[in-house]
Amino acid sequence: IMNTGLFDFDAASQSSGWIQELQREHHTPETEEYGIGSFVYRRRVPFHPERLAALLSDWPEEIVRAKGLVWLAVRGDMAASISQAGPSIQFGPAGYWVASLPEAEQHEWLAQEPDLRRRWDETWGDRMNEIVLIGIGMDREGITHRLDECLLTSGEMEMNWAEFRNPLPWIEIQ
């Protein structure tokens, strides 16, 4: 539009669409009108790598954007990043969890980051799943249930997590 001469500001400012919107007593937010919603999925239990990989390959279509950090059982030292927009999903290493660092470094981080200190868990430190999900007509309960099904069970929490089959190739245990 820029430098093409196709946009006429005066004509646009006189168009009736935006004037009608201003004159309405009630405005229907676009989120309501188009069914757009969002929520944050948070859990302090790691994902099982096989179940999460299955979900990633059958991602709910109504989610149009997702972004966050993931705790994968086979890599308790490293956070994974998930970033999804439309049909594209990227999943990979995001950095080390502060809880996996030497104790002196943990104390430095906790001293510098009050929010981290508030969210710190005595058992798991900063390890958690936290994913923002944005979609159209999302079934929040259904999506939450599908994500929850990917978490380790209480029995699996007691197992050696390094023995889980890992179909996510970037996360190789050394």
CA atoms within 13 A on the CB side of 85: 0
Q: Can you give the pLDDT of all 174 residues of the chain as single tens digits?
A: 556 777 766 666 666 665 666 666 776 667 677 789 999 999 999 999 999 999 999 999 999 999 999 999 998 899 999 999 999 999 999 999 999 999 999 999 999 999 999 999 999 999 999 999 999 999 999 999 999 999 999 999 999 999 999 898 665 444
CA distance 113 to 171: 27
CATH architecture of the domain with range 35-163: 2-Layer Sandwich (3.30)
